[in-house]
Amino acid sequence: MATPPPDLTSRLRRGLDRARARGQQGAAALRILARTGLIRSLRPQHVARFARNVRGSRPGPHMALMLHAQVWPDRLAVADARRRLSYAELEREVNQLAHALVAIGVGPGDRVALMLPNCAEYLVALQALPRVGASAVQIGTRLKAGEIEYILGNAQPRAILYHAMFAGEIEPACRRAGIGPGALIRLDDDGGAYRLLVAAQPGDRPPVLGGKGADSSVIVYTSGTTGKPKGASRNMSRTGLDAVADLVNTVGIEHQDVHLVVCPLYHSAAPAFALIMMSLGGSVVVIDHFEPEEVLATIAREKVTCSFMVPTQLVRLTSIEPAVRQRYDLSSLRWILSGAAPLTTETARRFQDAYGPIVWNFYGATETGLVTLAGPHDHAARPGTVGRVLTGNQIRVLGEDGRELPVGEVGELYVRNSMLISGYHGDQASTDKAMKDGFFSVGDLARVDADGFVYLASRVHDMVISGGVNIYPAEIEEHLHRHPDVMEAAVVGVPDDEWGERLVAFIVTRPGASLSAEEIIQFCREGLADYKRPRRVEFMDALPRNPTGKVLKRELRAR
């Protein structure tokens, strides 16, 4: 395709600069577009149509969809087990859903709750809500009616889009929360009320409505590993792109990439990476259930180039027998981002021995966005690191007295960047507690070495104090994962009359392996200081985890 004339490129640059002034970090967006080759694909007519289409639109990632519908109307945008939508088809359905939401009373500043499996309609909704100035409230699909009722009471959504498979939980929750049936949009496998409502709407962009709070946001309820979930609210039109631009450039993300979604879209990382790929014009393939061999089959069939996976999924893929892996052509796979839970050095090594040096590990949180990035070779060179900070991030490691600690010392990690959430919805006390001088903490303990590499030690509430000594379970877990027969390990502290707390290790062995508690304790005796050695070992078939892979240590302590 022809390169746009300099004057059109300048116009595009000026437009992006104006977007930056409105909170969109246009310079970073331009770097992303240039790195991925998107600008080279533009023709003059594309720029002209895009300029007409976006006139008056609210800034946000959804604007890129309008451009791609012009440049690549027939390119695959989203696919799931039931549907395949091109960019032109996706743009039309996004507009139709936006019109449908307006028709049932959703307007600027309103919130719409989503309780859906991983499906194309989820991504349609995330693109449609910004077009009417509304915000998404993402509800976990494993929650029960009482938990859902709490979220509905906290978020106060104007409408609910949900799948019929969750009707038994969400419908009674809506009744108890005082949300009437007129606010409910039900999706069935064949479309249901959603399909009828959307099909009756026009496919052009809805009029831009004004009003207080018209900026779209996303509210993601934290996993609640320590208590009631908190609604982390991020204003999408004010979220910076510097860290995203750095990630795109460093990893080598391209607009031709085919991205596989295997993690829940109701969390934060999975939809974030899916929307990044859609913003670049890539294709997104969505699967709802993680079955290791089916993942390999999907990679081979769709020529998948990239994915975001939690460490547990990497472990499960590593456990596939080599003879089974060899049935599938995985040569298209270029990179995998891992995050949301700690990635041990041994897990990274085993995965890369099987699939190649393609794992990038990042640190971030629902509240902070992308903070650090470690490359495929950093895992071996600097065991345990989560990498160095991405552009646009500042970090501080603070001691209990609130003072910044020197290199190498462990303290609470605080982050400041343009991706920070605006706060916890309806919970100013929790927001204030997490903030310190403009820096945000989610309770992680970390240290930074002399070269700027960050290492997570534990979480504040996971740290064990035994005999007056601080012990960080992550260090012991890292050691346990080096044992060839250990597939997964978690360490917690439990009350002890003499020492205050004592260590208990929970072990999941590899299939066919046989281990005793004494063998585990001896392995720790050989590689760790005596006070770091677990005093008891429990064997389990699987560690209790939330849907994003974090080990639920409160359940382990309760045992």
The Cα–Cα gap between 185 and 195 comes to: 10
> Do 399 and 413 belong to one domain?
yes
Domain membership of residue 71 (yes or no) is no
Q: Within 13 Å and on the Cβ side, how many CA atoms surround 97?
A: 29
Cα–Cα distances (Å) from 320 to 10, 89, 130, 370, 398, in that order, read 51, 37, 41, 30, 42
User: Looking at residue 189, what is its pLDDT?
Assistant: 87
> Do 363 and 492 belong to one domain?
no
Domain membership of residue 78 (yes or no) is no
Helix (H/G/I), strand (E/B), else coil: 217: strand
User: Looking at residue 52, what is its pLDDT?
Assistant: 64
Ranges of the chain whose pLDDT falls below 70: 1-61, 209-216, 223-228, 237, 468, 548
Q: Give me the residues paired with residue 385 across strands.
A: 455
- CATH of residue 502's domain is 3.30.300.30
Structure tokens at 100: 């449908």
Cβ atoms of residues 148 and 162 within 8 Å: no
User: Looking at residue 160, what is its pLDDT?
Assistant: 97
- Residue 4's contacts (CB-CB under 8 Å, 6 or more residues apart) are 12, 39, 42, 43, 44, 47
Query: Over the stretch 112-151, which tens digit does the pLDDT of each residue have?
Result: 999 999 999 999 999 999 999 999 999 989 888 888 999 9
Q: Where are the alpha helices (H) located in 303-358, listed in sequence order?
A: 311-318, 322-325, 345-355
Whose structure tokens read 């950093």? 378
Q: Is the dihedral of CA 132, 134, 135, 139 positive or negative?
A: negative
Ramachandran area for residue 407 (φ above 0: left; ψ -120 to 50: alpha; else beta): beta
Domain membership of residue 60 (yes or no) is no
Identify the H or E element spanning 398. Answer: strand 394-398
> Do 214 and 89 belong to one domain?
yes
> Do 504 and 398 belong to one domain?
no
The counts of H helices and E strands in the chain are 20, 27
Its pTM surpasses 0.85: no
Domain membership of residue 24 (yes or no) is yes
Q: Which of 340, 346, 374 is nearest to 454 (CA)?
A: 374
> Do 366 and 480 belong to one domain?
no
> Do 199 and 145 belong to one domain?
yes
Q: Angle at CA 380, nearest 5°, toward 376 and 385?
A: 80
> Do 250 and 395 belong to one domain?
yes
Cβ atoms of residues 215 and 235 within 8 Å: yes
User: Looking at residue 111, what is its pLDDT?
Assistant: 95
Go through the chain and tell me how many residues it has. Answer: 559
| Residue 273 lies in domain | 242-459
Domain membership of residue 68 (yes or no) is no
- Residue 497's contacts (CB-CB under 8 Å, 6 or more residues apart) are none
The Cα–Cα gap between 422 and 222 comes to: 14
Structure letter (DSSP) for residue 551: B
Structure tokens at 255: 């607009």
Identify the H or E element spanning 11. Answer: helix 6-19
Helix (H/G/I), strand (E/B), else coil: 152: helix
User: Looking at residue 225, what is its pLDDT?
Assistant: 46
Domain membership of residue 66 (yes or no) is no
- Residue 518's contacts (CB-CB under 8 Å, 6 or more residues apart) are none
> Do 305 and 430 belong to one domain?
yes
> Do 472 and 439 belong to one domain?
no
**Domain termination site, one of 459, 489, 516:** 459
User: Looking at residue 214, what is its pLDDT?
Assistant: 56
Helix (H/G/I), strand (E/B), else coil: 191: coil
Count of domains forming the chain: 4
Helix (H/G/I), strand (E/B), else coil: 86: strand
**Domain termination site, one of 441, 459, 477:** 459
Query: Over the stretch 358-394, which tens digit does the pLDDT of each residue have?
Result: 999 999 988 999 999 999 999 889 998 999 999 999 9
Q: Which of 371, 345, 368 is nearest to 359 (CA)?
A: 345
> Do 261 and 404 belong to one domain?
yes
The beta strands (E) that lie in 254-353 are given as 258-261, 283-286, 306-309, 335-338
**Domain termination site, one of 238, 254, 289:** 238
Domain membership of residue 260 (yes or no) is yes
Helix (H/G/I), strand (E/B), else coil: 339: coil
Helix (H/G/I), strand (E/B), else coil: 305: coil
User: Looking at residue 162, what is its pLDDT?
Assistant: 97
> Do 281 and 300 belong to one domain?
yes
Cβ atoms of residues 507 and 486 within 8 Å: yes
> Do 4 and 152 belong to one domain?
no
The Cα–Cα gap between 284 and 126 comes to: 14
- CATH of residue 204's domain is 3.40.50.12780
Structure-derived torsion over alpha carbons of residues 181, 187, 191, 192, reported in degrees to the nearest 10: -30
The Cα–Cα gap between 461 and 443 comes to: 8
Cβ atoms of residues 155 and 237 within 8 Å: no
Domain membership of residue 69 (yes or no) is no
